[in-house]
Structure 1
Amino acid sequence: MKLVLTEIKNRVGYITLNSEKTLNSLSLPMIEELQQILTDWKTSDEVLCIFLQGAGEKALCAGGDVRKLYEAIVSQKAIDPTQVPKDCYDFFFKEYEVDFDIHTYPKPVIVWGHGIVMGGGIGLMVGASHRIVTEKSKLAMPEITIGLYPDVGGTWFLNKMPSAYGMYLGLTGTRLDGADCIFLNMADYYVESSSKESIINALEHTEWKDNPHTIVSLILNTISAEFKVSESQAQAHQSFIGQFEKVNSVEEFKSVLLNHVDKDEWISNGLKSLEAGSPSSAHIIFRQLQQGKNLSLEEVFQSELNLSCQCCLHPDFAEGVRALLVDKDLMPKWHPATWDDVTEEWINSYFKLRIEN
């Protein structure tokens, strides 16, 4: 079975992530195929515009295939636990290369962000020039629950959000719907999923007489104008999020969240994720976003590659994946086990620079 399907119609290059059973989760071979396609089409006269989608109706992409990374970490530990597993390094390096390519691509990249879009899926979507969400879009960066942090450029796009939304979403893994994505500039167009055919039909009948970016924008503006975006839960919590703008530590963040009096479901779910997540992750996420505020996009991906490699050497990433996806006991034994046990020296070790491969 081909992991990535391609088709060119009327100079529109269609890319379909083809792993419906895994909700189109990204494996290393899939990432390598994606990179090859993007590279080939960048200079091809046959392609003026790209349309990226996931197979099936459930997901664009539910993230990276972290089970494979878990297996690589376990195998490497038995040989030499001081070395980053090659498969992990290759996965993160190549994934970020694809993400960076999409951010900087010279041709319009339309992403059909329908269904589940999490982790690595957001990495593919957020840097695209034309990002579409629907009534069934569900986006999140829930990495704190597996002992990781919001990578794939999270340092960049979370810091670009208004108020303290980026910090809040990074630390709580709060889910976003289509309306939230429009409000937070994670998407450009909201349409009902039934309009996909109209979009494809318009692309396949356009004459490409003008600048491709202009033509794509016109098509999507026209079709999305028919739909009214529903109220955003994220926007409705603006004054609540404002409380986090001046926090200076992750402990202060937790205290503000814990002490908030009127906890509705949206806030309570965020608190649950923060409290159940890896204490180390909470600390590294806070520092990642604080330290990365002024980094260029290239520097963001370099710093995230280093941090991801360190996560493969520290215990919580493998443990989080084991508990959630391998043994599925949902009982991760975090190390250190509590927020109070996390030392500055321990967090510093995550940010120590490594020279890889």
Structure 2
Amino acid sequence: MEAKVMNDKAMDVVLFEERVCADGKRLAIATLNVPATLNALSLPMVQLLTARLKQWASDPQIALVLLQASGDKAFCAGGDLQQLYQSMRTHHASAAAGDCCANAYAAEFFASEYQLDYLIHRYPKPVLCWAHGVVMGGGVGLMMGASHKVVTEATRFAMPEAAIGLFPDVGGSWMLSRLPGKIGLFLALTGAQLRSADCLYAGIADYAIPHASREQLIAAILRQGWSISPFEAAQQLSQLLHSVAMPEAVLAGPLQEAATLIDRLCEGENWQHIVQKLRDHAYTDPWLQKAAASLHKAAPLSLALAWEAQRRAATMSLEQVFQMEYVLALRCAAHTDFAEGIRALLIDKDGKPQWQPADLQQLTAAHMETLVAAMFAAPDWPQHPLHDLAQPEVSVQQNEHNEHINLEEQAA
């Protein structure tokens, strides 16, 4: 049946469709549609996605949601750094430069983005994220919460925020702190790129499927009759994805091969020693060499923030992590490094950011206790702007947890 297109000219940065399945239920499709900017996530895109996902969550005829992107290069390469840069430049030049909450655009952007990411994490229906091409920053935030995460032969997954004076946000601290061994810390410090095999190995993705099979998969979804139970619908979707997934036997990746070495180099409680070990090791693998080289370009403060955020996130709930990251993101927007990193990478493109502090040696233990601690300190708000993160009825993941409990009780 022909797709029901629901966008208009003013809102074509995200395209929305509903396609009718064999039993009359519908597949909802949201397509990021700014391929010229690698589908970088802007505030209007966030707002459109949030509104439509909430509408679909309450529509009993919507069985599942597909989140994808236009173009062959990227699912989503990050956030709208150009707008953030302009807002930071204006804020830094204002009389309120010392007030991290005075940058109204940054405050709205990060709050809206994190609320959207959290909504996906807690979505009450299956969400299939087709993460084809570049997946970084804001794209990771969209992908991470999906119940079914698909990578392809072209996927390039990374969280290189330390290279622009930020830290792995969008819930990244929560996700990275829960990866096997020291993988999460390694990825946060180096921004190393992963392909599909290593995304599967690390547990970042659930399935690797050839991009050419997407239409075949959608056709199979439309032929399916879908259970009214979100948990059972999620199981049905898992079976379909498994039927077109690439055999794991043909997959291999450098992260998996280097996992033991990464665990050894990233062992310890002193982040500066870890960075130094990663820098100084004599690598033979080109992928590891490139990852280690990135540490020479990263903002020292961002490396410290990535370490500390991940350390704290390990014992926090998802809600608490988003609240912590929101404070930290606003502090970064008020600090000079974030704007300087964007300038050097995207504006002047000279590749020569002037970080403050300039090197690891300036981040002494005393500095860590003052500057870094101050970056995590919440402003004097009457209540946190993300205190009321929207929580739909029950997520698909929670349904699965409850189903296991019910089965155990029946067996007893």
Shift of 1:340: 1.2
C-alpha contact (below 8 Å) 1:113/1:133 kept by paired residues:
yes
Shift of 1:82: 1.9
Q: Identify the residue that residue 76 of structure 1 maps to in structure 2.
A: 91
Q: Which structure 2 residues correspond to residues 146-295 of structure 1 after superposition, within 5 A? A: 146-209=164-227, 211-224=232-245, 228-295=249-316
Q: Identify the residue that residue 57 of structure 1 maps to in structure 2.
A: 72
Q: Which structure 2 residues correspond to residues 95-110 of structure 1 after superposition, within 5 A? A: 95-110=113-128
C-alpha contact (below 8 Å) 2:266/2:278 kept by paired residues:
no
* Secondary structure at 1:132 match in 2: strand
Q: Name the Cα RMSD after superposition.
A: 1.4
Q: Identify the residue that residue 45 of structure 1 maps to in structure 2.
A: 60
Task: Please tell me whether residue 35 in structure 1 is matched to residue 56 in structure 2.
Answer: no
Shift of 1:289: 0.9
Q: Identify the residue that residue 315 of structure 1 maps to in structure 2.
A: 336
C-alpha contact (below 8 Å) 1:179/1:229 kept by paired residues:
no
C-alpha contact (below 8 Å) 1:192/1:227 kept by paired residues:
no
Worse-superposed segment, 249-258 or 154-163? 249-258
| Deviations 1:235-260, CA, capped at 9 Å, x for gaps | 00012112145311111102221332
Letter in 2 for 1:336: P
| Deviations 1:90-126, CA, capped at 9 Å, x for gaps | 1111101111111111100000010011011011001
Q: Tell me: CA distance 1:74–1:332, structure 2 relative to 1, closer, same or farther (3 Å).
A: same
Worse-superposed segment, 229-238 or 130-139? 229-238
Letter in 2 for 1:282: L
Shift of 1:190: 0.7
Q: Identify the residue that residue 125 of structure 1 maps to in structure 2.
A: 143
For 1:55 and 1:225, how far apart are their aligned partners in 2?
23
For 1:75 and 1:69, how far apart are their aligned partners in 2?
10
For 1:228 and 1:61, how far apart are their aligned partners in 2?
28
Q: Identify the residue that residue 82 of structure 2 maps to in structure 1.
A: 67
Letter in 2 for 1:8: E
Return 5+ residue gaps in structure 2 as ranges: 1-8, 21-25, 386-412
Letter in 2 for 1:230: L
For 2:284 and 2:378, how far apart are their aligned partners in 1?
40
Q: Tell me: CA distance 1:261–1:53, structure 2 relative to 1, closer, same or farther (3 Å).
A: same
What is the aligned residue count? Answer: 357
Shift of 1:62: 0.4
Q: Which structure 2 residues correspond to residues 294-313 of structure 1 after superposition, within 5 A? A: 294-313=315-334
* Secondary structure at 1:51 match in 2: strand
For 1:57 and 1:229, how far apart are their aligned partners in 2?
23
Identity %: 37
* Secondary structure at 1:295 match in 2: coil
Return 5+ residue gaps in structure 1 as ranges: none
CA radius of gyration, larger in: 2
For 1:184 and 1:23, how far apart are their aligned partners in 2?
25
For 1:240 and 1:34, how far apart are their aligned partners in 2?
41
Normalising by the residue count of structure 2, what TM-score does the alignment of the two structures yield?
A: 0.84
For 1:129 and 1:355, how far apart are their aligned partners in 2?
36
For 2:283 and 2:349, how far apart are their aligned partners in 1?
33
Task: Please tell me whether residue 5 in structure 1 is matched to residue 26 in structure 2.
Answer: no
Q: Identify the residue that residue 359 of structure 2 maps to in structure 1.
A: 338
* Secondary structure at 1:48 match in 2: strand
| Deviations 1:55-100, CA, capped at 9 Å, x for gaps | 1111110010111101001112222212331110111111011111
For 1:225 and 1:268, how far apart are their aligned partners in 2?
29
| Deviations 1:209-228, CA, capped at 9 Å, x for gaps | 47311211111111115675
C-alpha contact (below 8 Å) 1:4/1:18 kept by paired residues:
yes
For 2:69 and 2:246, how far apart are their aligned partners in 1?
24
